Structure 1
């Protein structure tokens, strides 16, 4: 523990945000850069990542990162290791809501993804990004996080991932829970807890956060909150270096697992 603290104490703060070329991820990366972090803007498409990093400013650097392709994860980790040697903050933001026909309304997507008729291929595709991708990125970046003085991992989840909330008949978003996206966020929350429980003895904090019902490409921009509003809680959690471990919060405060 002591060696790790000496390795990055009082040094430049370094962050990696996956899926940071647009939406909530972009807003998180921008806020981190504005608060003194060197931010690696993870993007599947290098051109989109470069454009986002340029818009954010000098503290941002694009890095090609597809959470479903281990080669890009290893290359990104090697790049960060070569340039800085450690990572203070990992934000697992990359996610997809469906893998079917584009341009459908949110209602059409939810209906197609009901448990009774959801395509197994689509379930696998979405879970590959939202669940297995989160695991893969975290495992790949752990050696760098372990070299930081106070490392943190933030997983961008969804209120839909809360089984306690969805089970309440009064929950307004209950009808939107499906086997593809909603269940993937429940699984992501379980992944968050598994890492949080294991890493707490190493003083690496792992938390989940929901942006709320934000208008992004995930829901064909049908959310009720702007991306700026929806990004407030993820940004707060990402910037909180002294916060608790293993929390799940949203725009209105703590959420039930």
Structure 2
């Protein structure tokens, strides 16, 4: 049987047992992909996968903590053993550092008073975790005819928006952890895109928008489905699609 007629698209979404990640997994499954839900808590991951299978999706849970290299490699081994390739990697797992990105907690991240351990923890997950997962999955992605990597970022990552004294971010307390970690993720996205462009691997960052999730204490005004849709669009790019970009629903976002 030829690769062209038998190739089943396979996707991995990290941090996908709830929120935007789960929404992305659901929409990728609706496109006919086999989807692996990466979750730190195996029970929660399996509960999410079971629910999405009940809705008709080919969805499976895999234990994956992006800060634990052993679980990252084991996840790659499992996907490789079952399918031999990976078509879509969505690096969605992330933490805010202070529990939630809300006015009540934002003071914990003010640069002049932030605890360094918090900054380290946020960067460990939001930046180093992306490197760990991406590098572990690259051998599988290279076996795909149309590999895509999508890094879930944030409008808060934009230095242009943050530096505008009249912009919406000027009213927020400065962040030394979450926002800089997403800026670093954007920079990392560009570097991976530059390296992998010749291999046909498209790598982009996406700002889903202010989505109603646990991370903002459900103060967001977009639904999970709306936030996930932008991620999925980049995960399903045609071969002539962009790489090394930063996008939101409305289009490109200023770096």
TM-score (norm 2): 0.93
Residue 109 (structure 2) aligned to one of 109, 113, 116 = 113
Kindly indicate whether the alpha-carbon contact (under 8 Å) linking 1:9 and 1:149 is maintained by their aligned counterparts in 2.
no
Q: What is the CA-CA distance between 1:9 and the residue it aligns to?
A: 3.9
When the two structures are aligned, how many residues end up with a matched partner? 249
- Judged with a 3 Å threshold, the aligned counterparts in structure 2 of structure 1 residues 156 and 60 are, in CA distance, closer, same or farther, namely same
Equivalent residues in 2 for 1:226-241 (5 A)? 226-241=223-238
Structure 1: give runs of 5+ residues left out of the alignment. Answer: 1-5
Q: What is the CA-CA distance between 1:55 and the residue it aligns to?
A: 1.1
How far, CA to CA, are the matches of 1:136 and 1:15 in structure 2? Answer: 17
Q: What is the CA-CA distance between 1:176 and the residue it aligns to?
A: 4.7
Q: What is the CA-CA distance between 1:7 and the residue it aligns to?
A: 8.7
Q: What is the CA-CA distance between 1:52 and the residue it aligns to?
A: 0.7
Residue 186 (structure 1) aligned to one of 160, 175, 183 = 183
Structure 2 counterpart of 1:141? 137
Residue by residue over 1:116-148, the C-alpha shift from the partner in whole angstroms, topping out at 9 and shown as x without a partner, is 111100001111100000111001100101111
Structure 2 counterpart of 1:211? 208
- Judged with a 3 Å threshold, the aligned counterparts in structure 2 of structure 1 residues 8 and 206 are, in CA distance, closer, same or farther, namely farther
Structure 2 counterpart of 1:68? 67
Equivalent residues in 2 for 1:1-257 (5 A)? 8-10=3-5, 11-57=7-53, 58-98=57-97, 100=98, 102=99, 106-174=102-170, 175-242=172-239, 243-257=241-255
Q: What is the CA-CA distance between 1:156 and the residue it aligns to?
A: 0.4
Kindly indicate whether the alpha-carbon contact (under 8 Å) linking 2:85 and 2:143 is maintained by their aligned counterparts in 1.
yes
Q: What is the CA-CA distance between 1:8 and the residue it aligns to?
A: 4.9
How far, CA to CA, are the matches of 1:70 and 1:80 in structure 2? Answer: 16
Q: What is the CA-CA distance between 1:111 and the residue it aligns to?
A: 1.4
- 3-state SS of 1:87 partner: coil
After superposition, the CA RMSD in angstroms is 1.7
TM-score (norm 1): 0.92
- Judged with a 3 Å threshold, the aligned counterparts in structure 2 of structure 1 residues 177 and 138 are, in CA distance, closer, same or farther, namely farther
- 3-state SS of 1:115 partner: coil
- 3-state SS of 1:173 partner: helix
How far, CA to CA, are the matches of 2:134 and 2:2 in structure 1? Answer: 20
Residue by residue over 1:26-85, the C-alpha shift from the partner in whole angstroms, topping out at 9 and shown as x without a partner, is 010000111110000100001111111111114000000000000001100000110011
- Judged with a 3 Å threshold, the aligned counterparts in structure 2 of structure 1 residues 7 and 170 are, in CA distance, closer, same or farther, namely farther
- 3-state SS of 1:230 partner: helix
